[in-house]
Amino acid sequence: MPKKDQTVDGQNITGTGWVYSEEVKKHFFEPQNFVIKAPIDYSGLGMVGSPACGDMMKVWIKVDSKSEKIKNFSWQTFGCASAIASTSMLSVMVTENGGLTISQALEITPRHILDRLGGLPNRKVHCSVLGDKALQAAINDYFRRTNQVSRITFQGSRVIDKKLNITDKDIEEAVKSGAKTFKEVQQKTKVGTGDPNCIPEAEELVKFYLEKYS
């Protein structure tokens, strides 16, 4: 660990930049809403990352259909202390005080998670970004399951199946999570079942991502 005021690569780095806050340590040693077994009853599932490439987060949300409040947020994370603490804190933020509505939950940013944790070391900030993406993926899955595809939101993605609003990122995540063939990707994402005309493009994307992550 660098000593206080040590210079690394021409930059001044203090020891505090490498120290976990008490809140981070609390959520790492006593993670909230963590589950060993995947829940059976849930409204949406979101997964980002890959254990082969680094941190992976999988979250399940339970949504009250009348109020659209998120009543339950269960999760599993493969990764470091920052990844675990970030997901734990996110689960608390979403469900505290009776639960956030979907609209409110979509307003959560990585900065909100960082602030509640009291910060993270610079090299670990990406962990809070993963949590934000996993939550959005779970909400998008809820929209698909409840036939509200017009409400699905994207960040830097290209829509492949325009009937079901399935993007290239959805296909990429399916491959990263273990799908080895187009059929397996289709089972995970339903790509091509809404718009069969997109299947050739989807198949090419599957081949591309398989080569990329092999």
Catalytically active residues, by annotation? 53, 127
Looking at residue 119, its pLDDT comes to 87
Strand partners, 176: none
The DSSP string of 148-175 is -GGG---SS--EEETTTTEEHHHHHHHH
pLDDT of 18 reads 53
pTM over 0.75: no
C-alpha span between 175 and 212 (Å, rounded) = 10
What does residue 168 show for φ and ψ, rounded to 5 degrees?
A: -60, -30
Tell me, what's the pLDDT at 10?
A: 34
Report CA-CA distances (Å) from 119 to 17, 112, 203, 211: 9, 10, 41, 36
User: What distance in Å separates the CA atoms of residue 10 and residue 6, rounded to the nearest whole number?
Assistant: 10
Each residue's pLDDT, cut to its tens digit, for the chain (214 residues) gives 333 333 323 333 333 445 789 999 999 999 999 999 999 999 999 988 766 556 788 999 999 999 999 999 999 988 888 889 999 999 999 999 999 999 999 988 888 998 999 988 777 776 777 788 889 989 999 999 999 988 988 776 788 988 888 888 889 888 988 899 999 999 988 999 988 999 999 999 999 889 888 7
Task: Give the amino acid at 27.
Answer: H
pLDDT (0 to 100) of residue 52:
55
Structural domains in the chain, sorted by start: 8-151 (3.90.1010.10), 159-213 (1.10.10.1100)
